[in-house]
Structure 1
Amino acid sequence: MEQYKEIAPRLVGLREGIGWTVAEMADLLGLPEDKVAGYESGTVEIPVGYMLDVSRLCRVDLTTLISGREPHLKSYSVVRKDEGYAVDRRKDYDYKSLGYKFAGREMEPFLITVPPKPEEEMVETAHRGQEFMYVLEGRLEVRLGGESIVVEPGDSLYFSSETPHALRGMDGKEVKFLDVIL
């Protein structure tokens, strides 16, 4: 089962627990009502940016929203190699949360793997906040506001997440990079 089908009821429960209607939630997030209803239906993928916006608006931890479990560490958190919490929020990317154990995070660090794909299959997304990417392996094409930028191992990119962006691995190879969303 796709993880968004498990997250959707938590979105509904959180919204209803606060006492907001779908229309009120949509208004507070600056989104169309049908988009919020779609995410809550469990029938469409839920962007991590949307989950981050909801978690901030409702003052709940993103880990709680995604996993249904509360993070508990407050002074530091170690996540060992290959132990990141899998955030299966998109079919085309592999997200591993690297900060999921730390309560009260002010940023969301991820290890992301993006496969190669044709340019026409790139899907743009946008969300509130800022984003920092640091490429570890492979060459990554980032389409950012209509401009194509190629970043390689050791390169970094910092941008407003409100700018529509899409990603793909180049040269027929997947790309691994650190992604921090603020």
Structure 2
Amino acid sequence: MSKKILGEKIKKYREFRQISRKDLALKANLDEEQLEKVEDKGVMPSLGHLIKISRALGVRIGTFLDGQEQIGPAIMRAGEEKSSMSFSTKDDSTREHLNFFSLAQDKAGRHMEPFIVDIEPSKESDYKLSSHEGEEFMYVLEGSIEVNYGKDVFQINKGDTIYLDSVVEHNVHAANNQPAKLLAVVYTPV
């Protein structure tokens, strides 16, 4: 899915529910200008902001990430991952190092969002923490990641997992200035 299509879906749902951009921005705790960039210019919101937008509109996050709806199980064959997405924050220059590949975008009514995430080393050392509702599970497939979680920092290596509460401010980035790959499952309550 392209960034433009994501913004168009958000705008479509907002207009269908007859919510002004200003009201949605207030409900989602975003700047109205930021929401305008998402809807009209294809700027990708952070995962936390996308979750807040979906909650404010009363839909699950997958509503915006789905390509099509499938009632039965969704099977993703190796090498067939769909739609890379990069999430960003209010600061357009950050978070471009996280590329998400959805593993179940065809599954209707799901409550979890499984992704393969490719993480490129960041040039920044001052990582911006964010929080959102729900929980996250990460299994490191390649390399190592560093997770800033509240005031703690954890290094998670290949084969290790971490399960965290997303309401605690956190940041995930490549450790040791080397790329990493992980399986991430994000759960957000509807």
TM-score range, shorter chain: 0.7 to 0.9
- In the alignment, which residue of structure 1 is the partner of 2:156? 151
Q: 1:180 to 1:121 in 2, by over 3 A?
A: same
| AA partner of residue 79 (structure 2) | D
**For the aligned residues, what is the CA RMSD?**
2.5
Written as runs of structure 1 = structure 2, the 5 A alignment for 1:61-76 is: 62-66=61-65, 69-72=67-70, 74-76=71-73
TM superposition shift of 1:51:
2.6
Three-state SS of the structure 1 residue aligned to 2:77 is: coil
1:42 matched to 2:47: no
Q: 5+ residue gaps in structure 2?
A: 88-95
More helix per residue: 1
Structure 1 residues 34 and 145, CA gap change in structure 2 (3 angstroms)? farther
Hey, what does 1:82 align to over in structure 2? 79
How many pairs were matched up? 179
Residue of structure 1 equivalent to 2:119: 114
User: Does structure 1 retain, via aligned residues, the 8 Å contact 2:145–2:174?
Assistant: yes
- What per-residue deviation string (whole Å, max 9, x for no partner) do you get for residues 89-123 of structure 1? 33211211111111110100011011123451534
CA distance in 2, matches of 1:92, 1:77: 27
Q: Which amino acid aligns with 1:70?
A: Q
Q: 1:161, 1:173 → 2: CA distance?
A: 25
* Aligned-partner Cα distance in 2 for 1:159–1:60: 23
Give yes or no for contact 2:137–2:161 (8 Å, CA) kept in 1: yes
Instruction: From the superposition, tell whether residues 127 and 170 of structure 1 become closer, same or farther in structure 2 (CA, over 3 Å).
Output: same
1:127/1:61 CA distance change after superposition, 3 Å: closer
Q: TM-score w.r.t. structure 2 length?
A: 0.79
> How many Å apart are 1:152 and its aligned residue?
0.9
Q: Give the CA deviation at 1:18.
A: 0.6
> Which residue in the other structure is 2:168 paired with?
163
Match of 2:181 among 169, 176, 182: 176
Counterparts in 2 of 1:6-25, with a 5 A limit?
6-25=5-24
Equivalent pair of 1:111/1:178 in contact (CA under 8 Å):
yes
TM-score after normalising by structure 1 = 0.82
